[in-house]
Amino acid sequence: EPEVTQTPSHQVTQMGQEVILRCVPISNHLYFYWYRQILGQKVEFLVSFYNNEISEKSEIFDDQFSVERPDGSNFTLKIRSTKLEDSAMYFCASSRTAGQPLYSNQPQHFGDGTRLSIL
Amino acid sequence: AQTVTQSQPEMSVQEAETVTLSCTYDTSESDYYLFWYKQPPSRQMILVIRQEAYKQQNATENRFSVNFQKAAKSFSLKISDSQLGDAAMYFCAYRSAPRYSGAGSYQLTFGKGTKLSVIP
């Protein structure tokens, strides 16, 4: 069964440095997402992406964050200047559709996550 | 904004027994989807079961079933004949069901999770 793959599995970065987290969504999926999970807390939505643009973002997704689909397969999350509070598990997800047609319920498939540790 | 509450941080069940994980949610929408995801120690979140709010019939997937009470905004997960491989964090999640492209929110809203241990 096709999977969402994320690299690296663990990233350690100095505070203030830029970090890029990479994801390869399932090949026929059209909608892409990033979520994060701070240790001991709930999974939180960051951003969704469709047709080469952001379709929705949360309050967490400020100017320090950006997403890109640089080619036909990768989907990246960049954090420009990392802070200590960015330490978390970051999950990429993809779905074939997001809810169309009416009542279409294509679930989001998640990757293994990247554990980001900011020192 | 929607909220999802899982009131049981941890649960345990004897192997082969049945366990029910609770989830409640708050929404003003009438159309939405509900999900249970499983996150074993290997970290990948795996979809366990899903329910469309417009369907009255409770979803079932082999040993997994839900008790969906729309009026009470409750969505509990029942695991029958528990197996050691069921040990994981279980997350309840909510998603809106937009009526047309571009409308509404496609994001998943998660509860805090319930850690399920299975005792041999």
Q: What's the mean pLDDT in B8-14?
A: 97
Chain B residues inside the 8 Å CB shell of A57: none
Percent of chain A with pLDDT over 70: 92
Tens of pLDDT, residue by residue over B48-85, are: 999 989 888 999 999 999 999 999 999 999 999 999 99
Pair of tokens at residue B52: 């469309």
CB contact under 8 A, B105 and A56: yes
Kindly tell me if the per-residue pLDDT of A103 is higher than 50.
Answer: no
CB contact under 8 A, B110 and A42: yes
Kindly tell me if the per-residue pLDDT of A110 is higher than 60.
Answer: yes
pLDDT at B97: 76
Given A105, A109, A113, which is nearest B33 (Cβ)?
A: A105
Kindly tell me if the per-residue pLDDT of A102 is higher than 50.
Answer: no
Q: How far apart are CA A65 and CA A70, in angstroms?
A: 16
Which residues of B15-110 form beta strands (DSSP E)? 19-21, 24-26, 32-39, 46-52, 60-61, 64-69, 74-79, 88-96, 109-110
Buried b (16+ CB within 10 A) or exposed e, B55-78: eeeebeeeebbbebeeeebebbbb
pLDDT at A105: 60
Q: How far apart are CA B50 and CA A40, in angstroms?
A: 24
Tens of pLDDT, residue by residue over A34-66, are: 999 998 888 999 999 988 889 889 999 999 999
Percent of chain B with pLDDT over 90: 74
Tens of pLDDT, residue by residue over A13-31, are: 999 999 999 999 998 888 8
Task: Name which of A36, A42, A57, A95 to mutate to probe chain B: the one with the most chain B Cβ atoms within 10 A of its Cβ.
Answer: A42
Half-sphere exposure of B24 (CA within 13 A, CB side): 6
Query: What are residue A69's DSSP bridge partners?
Result: none
Quote the minimal CA–CA distance from A15 to chain B in Å.
Answer: 25
Q: Please provide the distance, in angstroms rounded to a whole number, between the alpha carbons at the two ends of chain A.
A: 37
Q: How far apart are CA B115 and CA B84, in angstroms?
A: 13
- Return phi, psi of residue B98, to 5°: -65, 150
Chain A touched by B110 (CB under 8 Å) = yes
pLDDT averaged over every residue in chain A: 89
Q: What's the mean pLDDT in A66-79?
A: 92
